[in-house]
Amino acid sequence: MDQELLRQCEAEAKKWLSPAFDADTQAEVKAMLDAEDKSALIDAFYQNLEFGTGGLRGIMGAGTNRMNKYIVGMATQGFANYINKAFAGKKDTAVVVGHDCRNNSRLFAETVADIFSANGIKVYLFESLRPTPEISFAIRQLGAQAGVNITASHNPREYNGYKAYWDDGAQVLSPHDTGIIDEVNKVTIDQVKFTPNNDLIQIIGGEMDIDYLNAVHEAMVDQDVILRQKDLCIVYSPLHGTGRVIIPAALRSWGFRNINVVKEQMVIDGNFPTVVSPNPENSEAMTLGMKLGTRLNADLVLASDPDADRLAVVCRDPKGEWCILNGNQTALMLSYYIIANKKKLGQLKGNEFMVKTIVTTETIAEIARRNGVEIRDCYTGFKWIAREIKISEGEKKYIGGGEESFGYLPFDKVRDKDSPASICLLCEIAAWAKDNGMTLYDLLMQIYLEYGFAYQDAVSVVKPGKSGADEIKQMMEDFRNNPPKTLGGSPVNCVKDFKTLKMVQNGVESTLDMPATSNVLQWFTENGTKISVRPSGTEPKIKFYIEVKGEMGCAKCYDSAVATAKEVVAAIKQDLKL
């Protein structure tokens, strides 16, 4: 054991035995100090939980490297200091505060509200848990200057987090992100104003729900198909989270009448007792929904993650068996339907645009281009999609955007991922498909036949610790200095480096038009393969996103097209030594 590190952790921990911390916290810290095994102490105090560009996220417990009311308090005091500087001289500065279903989320949200109010900032505090997109919507609706949502999204149960938003309803971008971080890093525990000014805290709830539900209607494309297929059999699960408050009501307000919820997962519980992980990307989380769907002979099964920004879709394949769509397929289907049916109904005026992240399927770009809709690429993270909406507000019309990690936003009244609006629209798409004698699966096959088949795979290489971080850094440098010449048997004809903002295509160098640099590399081959590689910003891993194009002559050729694509992916992994 590193004795110097242990001494540093013990010294830091002893500071938490002062009267500035409550008795329970002191007792938890004392137990770690007294324990023979010091690993828990070191893990809790070896570093400060970093307030990054997205806020905070970490395991709950006492310590500087944990999510607790004191770390939340110092973050909020720094955020309040920055707001008061940024809006100096403005009367009635306000923030919106919300939270999800997790353990301690209400406590942290009330702590945040207390501190903002103590700093002279009006607080609109939601009465109980609400979806992330509703927090984003409320900031814009109420004309607030900022917002905080207490959530760890789809992380395991022991985690909680803190998302910081700015006045446009989006997570903070430059220059505010670094400005807030600088202020947070200056704060010490004795500077935190924990005593609230209750006159500045206003509880909100039902009235904002109504406004948000009305806004979600703007994502609707064709109500007639919903009216014709109002009895579409829908199964929905909130995975114990915030979607239970809004999503069934949203579906009813759109006109759907056969909405069935997974009762065991409608229970609000931060321990997520019915799933291993509350992540709709994991097929295990969809098991109870599929069981209910089978019993009811449902048309589709849907779920949202605990803060209801991400969603998952399960539909039936030609054999009648459940098929879980991946994030690219869901984004593809939403994009296709929005463009095709708005065009058919004469709703496209020529000034519309869509946004996707650089690691999301290129087929979306092909659909947009063929139909005369502008398509924009941005970095991973919905704050970048929100940025594109903001810079074109009043000039061009945003009609949809998404990313491969199960997040989509089909309208512009919210500036973060929105599963309530996306789920409603997916049900409209299923109704439209049924109206035309198809399932969602059939529609996906139709899209592949019309715009080309593509298969996606992702690989995460985990490299823990400092040595792992060094290894990941070296891997990126090696790839940057010696890019592959061929991948999967096809020559690489285009390299994009988002750290230098340089692109080399067929030997010709040009500059990439992006708002900032990012440590991401992309390689494109002659046969249409795209590989993206980037280190994770939150975990000790390096991620590879692979997209392979293929031939699919008929709807029944899908399985063989996937099998062929998997062979190419295997060859690419071998080329990259994955």
* Gap between the Cα atoms of 30 and 41, Å rounded: 10
Q: What DSSP designation does 129 have?
A: -
Q: Of 266, 63, 277, which Cα lies nearest the Cα of 152? A: 277
Domain boundaries, the chain: 47-204, 213-450, 453-575
Residue 500's closest CA among 479, 526, 521? 521
Polymer length in residues for the chain: 578
What distance in Å separates the CA atoms of residue 127 and residue 245, rounded to the nearest whole number?
12
**pLDDT tens, N- to C-terminus, the chain (578 residues):** 688 999 999 999 999 999 999 999 999 999 999 999 999 999 999 989 988 878 999 999 999 999 999 999 999 999 999 999 999 989 899 999 999 999 999 999 999 999 999 999 999 999 999 999 999 999 999 999 999 999 999 999 999 999 999 999 999 998 999 999 999 999 999 999 999 999 999 999 999 999 999 999 999 999 999 999 999 999 999 999 999 989 999 999 999 999 999 999 999 999 999 999 999 989 999 999 999 999 999 999 999 999 999 999 999 999 999 999 999 999 999 999 999 999 999 999 999 999 999 999 999 999 999 999 999 999 998 999 999 999 999 999 999 999 999 999 999 999 999 999 999 999 999 999 999 999 999 999 999 999 999 999 999 998 877 778 888 999 999 999 999 999 999 999 999 999 999 999 999 999 999 999 999 999 999 999 999 999 986 667 899 999 999 999 999 999 999 999 999 999 999 999 98
- Partnered with residue 50 across adjacent β-strands are none
230's tokens: 């109002």
Positive or negative CA dihedral for 278, 282, 287, 293? positive
The pLDDT of residue 538: 61
Residue type, 482: N
Which residues neighbour 201 within 8 Å (Cβ) at sequence distance 6 or greater?
113, 114, 117, 122, 123, 125
In contact, 339 and 311? CB cutoff 8 Å:
no
Q: Do domains 47-204 and 213-450 have the same CATH topology?
A: yes
> Can you list the positions of beta strands (E) in 362-443?
374-378, 397-403, 407-409
Q: Tell me what pLDDT residue 539 has.
A: 67
448 Cα distance to chain centroid: 26
Q: What Rg value do the Cα atoms of the chain yield, rounded?
A: 24
Fold of 213-450: Alpha-D-Glucose-1,6-Bisphosphate; Chain A, domain 3 (3.40.120)
* Centroid of chain to Cα 399: 19
The CATH T-level fold of domain 47-204 is Alpha-D-Glucose-1,6-Bisphosphate; Chain A, domain 3 (3.40.120)
Q: Which of 153, 237, 335, 405 is catalytic?
A: 153
**Helix 327-344 with 363-370: angle, nearest 10 deg:** 10
d(CA 237, CA 1): 46
- Is 153 marked active-site? yes
Surface-to-core class of residue 412, CB atoms within 10 Å of its CB (0-12 exposed, 13-18 middle, 19+ buried):
buried
Say how far residue 447 (Cα) sits from the centre of its chain. 25
- Model-wide pTM > 0.85: yes
Give the Cβ contact number of residue 106 at 10 Å: 17
Work out whether strand 159-166 and strand 55-59 pair parallel, antiparallel, or are unpaired.
Answer: antiparallel
Sign of the C-alpha dihedral computed for residues 357, 361, 365 and 371 taken in this order: negative
Return the bridge partners of 490, or none: 487
Domain 453-575: which CATH class?
alpha beta
- Cα 327 to Cα 447: distance, rounded to the nearest angstrom: 15
